[in-house]
Amino acid sequence: MADRLRDKVALITGVGSVGPGWGNGKAMAVLFAREGALVFGIDIDATAAAETGRLIAAEGGTFQAFTADVSKDDAVAGAVAACLQAHGRIDILVNNVGIAVVGGPKELDEATWDRVMGVNLKSAYLTCRHVLPVMEGAGSGAIVNNASIAALGWCGVNYGLYAATKGAMVSMTRSIAVQFAPRGIRANCVLPGLMNTPLVHKALTTVYGQEGDIEKLIEVRNSQCPMGHMGDAWDTAYAALYLASDEARYVTGTELVIDGGMSVRFV
């Protein structure tokens, strides 16, 4: 076990995985624990969070799971209170919850708009709303929000609504960074590109081929990347680790792009 986050309390949302393999939050939780963090992991799926916890415990790390829908204010308030009761502080907040939906205003109805906004954006607003006063009282803290290169441009399919949530997350993060910089709090975003994760497998196979044809999805998405292959959850996790650590002590209000060069084509 290393010590880049030794004894830091890290509250991470979306620590489970929707299927076999490594999702971003699962990899973040395991990596942060390996680096010495005391991880408080939130997920709506208790079973998925427990699996992450078992992996961390097997490596001798510290993890506490909390089941909550982070698009609900009372649930977030309860989670933050539980984290404070367990550890007394929150040094790091990672907002990793998100759902991928293809379509924009023409294709998607109001209910879908509300759902995606609630999960992808409102969840980050709520955690920041409850955690920022805690960090402000401590005079320090690091927030890492998981956005997407969809906030920057066209990613090969119509991510109109999804992109709107991620673009708003970037703007909110920049505002938080400026407002709270004098109080010792940093806020940054990671912007993953095309990633090979269980969430992608579950949500997007019909976009790239027949439903359930994961091999076709991987083939097409790999071909869209300048490096010839997608990234994975560990690429996102290591970027988040840097931004959460004291190595990034003078980094705030920025976006760290993890996309194998894909977004260069947007310019």
Q: In what order do the strands lie in the sheet with 62-67?
A: 62-67, 38-43, 9-13, 92-95, 141-146, 185-192, 255-258
264 part of a folded domain: no
Q: Which residues are catalytic?
A: 162
> Which pTM value belongs to this model?
0.94
Rounded distance between C-alpha atoms, residue 196 and residue 180, angstroms: 34
99 part of a folded domain: yes
The 3 state secondary structure assigned to 206-225 is HHHCCCCCHHHHHHHHHHHC
Q: How many domains does the chain have?
A: 1
Domain CATH number, residue 63: 3.40.50.720
202 part of a folded domain: yes
pLDDT digits (tens, 9 = 90+) for 117-152: 999 999 999 999 999 999 999 999 999 999 999 999
162, pLDDT greater than 60:
yes
pLDDT digits (tens, 9 = 90+) for 178-210: 999 999 999 999 999 999 888 777 665 556 665
217 part of a folded domain: yes
165 part of a folded domain: yes
The arithmetic mean of pLDDT across residues 7-26, rounded, is: 94
267 part of a folded domain: no
Domain of 84 in residue numbering reads as: 9-258
With b for 16 or more beta-carbon neighbours within 10 A and e for fewer, the 206-223 pattern comes to ebbbeeeebeebbebbee
The torsion angle over the Cα atoms of residues 49, 131, 99 and 198, rounded to 10 degrees, is -30
Which pair of structure tokens corresponds to residue 176? 């938080």
16 part of a folded domain: yes
205 part of a folded domain: yes
DSSP notation for 125-194: HHHHHHHHHHHHHHT-EEEEEE--GGGTS--SS--HHHHHHHHHHHHHHHHHHHHHGGGTEEEEEEEE-S
